[in-house]
A and B are shown apart, each in its own frame.
Chain A
């Protein structure tokens, strides 16, 4: 049933999100083509058009980033806690399957969105810069690998795992806010937004506190009376961060499950 739920989540989102991300890509390609043409034109017109282009591009770029998340979060809210919930919650599927379907669709579209954003930047940079751009990653991972004295593959896998877990943490935190809002008898959207603002502050404070304590910990381990290896220190700090992300994601998922399974109360 998870596959079937995913099929309809995908069907709902693909037209709108493909249009949004497609528009950004086409606009980026137009920008690349336009820059070649305008390069040979009048300087004043070129500058004006370039300024206008950059303005629209920034709008489209940030718009696609924000709108992708809003569309997917609204889908979750409408499907779970508005009239559409009368259909979703009477389907012979488990609550876990419902949440996982939304999460997988959300993750896929976030990755597609990030890929489109990166591709649009590449389009603007032009093929001449692609080599430099793609060399950034191997250089970054290779220097990190030598600094930590760890194989490059381990560093890449660790980075990828951190990105995916951060994504899960972010998506489930949004579902958590909607679930908290759903417990209110009225003004559920406002309650969800307020929850998000409070949660965002708590997460930022928590991340800051973790970074500060990690720095102090690293200093003591690296430069203390008995210096430890860089990889060992990195391993501890990294594992701690990953465990925090995992615990947070599990907490957010658990609460979203609880709200939909035990506290569901549609208007």
Chain B
């Protein structure tokens, strides 16, 4: 199968701190991949590089065979670990914004999901609760027909009910030929939807395996393996 993401000897250094250390990685389409590691392990840095929010010190990244560029930005749907929509926007503005810039944005799908949550198009983002903002952002991101979804800590800091909503939204809305890269350290909540896991520690990949192989080889859940690998 053709690789969707390829990282070759990828290194990122912030001053004297090595955030990513010579990473070699390939991701295939049609999979949900968990990028798992403790805080400060380099998960967000890797996702930021894929989205060109920071640049590698050395090494190469290819998305669907293309080097990082404006073209690769149109292939990736990115959910950061923070609110990136302007507070001045109404929900309708946010929908217009995504429709204008992303040709793969499915507006009717987004509107359908918003109406199920009773989020009105006239609502302003400024007046929304943190949880509603996060759901709006997730809906916008998952309403794109992208080749790669990069979701950075999508379930961190949300209540269990919201967690279920987020996971079901992810599962019900991604295209089968797309890949989803989910970064998190909350393994137990997410491991049931993962096809593959990548363990990252101190900027280096310590394991990449399919979830089924990992469970069979260790006779344990991914969460248990993670706890053993990252034991303090």
Contact = CB atoms under 8 A, between A and B. Distances in A.
A12 interface: yes
B78 interface: yes
A87 B51 CA distance: 10
Contacts of B73: 90-92
B101 A4 contact: yes
B53 A83 contact: no
Interface in A63-106: 78-79, 83-87, 89-94
A264 B85 CA distance: 19
Interface in B97-124: 97, 100-102
- Classify the secondary structure of B's interface with A: loop
A47 interface: no
A11 B86 CA distance: 11
A83 B152 CA distance: 14
A194 interface: no
Q: How big is chain B's contact interface, by range?
A: 20 to 34
Contacts of B84: 83-87
Contacts of B88: 12, 15
Contacts of A84: 84-86
A7 interface: yes
Interface in B69-102: 70-71, 73-74, 76, 78, 80, 82-86, 88, 93, 97, 100-102
Nearest to B97: A8
A187 interface: no
Contacts of A92: 70-71, 73-74, 101-102
Given A85-B53, A93-B101, 14 more contacts: A1-B101, A4-B101, A7-B100, A8-B93, A8-B100, A12-B86, A12-B88, A79-B86, A89-B53, A90-B53, A90-B76, A92-B70, A92-B102, A262-B55
A149 interface: no
Interface of A: 1, 4, 7-8, 11-12, 15, 78-79, 83-87, 89-94, 262, 264-266
Contact of A266 (B53, B70, B78, B83): B53
A266 B152 CA distance: 15
A90 B70 contact: no
A84 B48 CA distance: 14
Contacts of A87: 84-85
Interface of B: 14, 48, 51-55, 70-71, 73-74, 76, 78, 80, 82-86, 88, 93, 97, 100-102
Contacts of B102: 92
Closest CB pairs A-B (n = 10)? A92-B74, A86-B84, A87-B84, A86-B80, A92-B73, A4-B100, A83-B82, A90-B78, A90-B51, A91-B101
A89 B55 CA distance: 12
A265 B83 CA distance: 17
A95 to B, nearest CB: 9
B45 to A, nearest CB: 10
9 contacts: A4-B100, A4-B101, A8-B100, A85-B84, A87-B85, A91-B73, A92-B73, A264-B54, A265-B54
Contacts of A86: 53, 78, 80, 82, 84
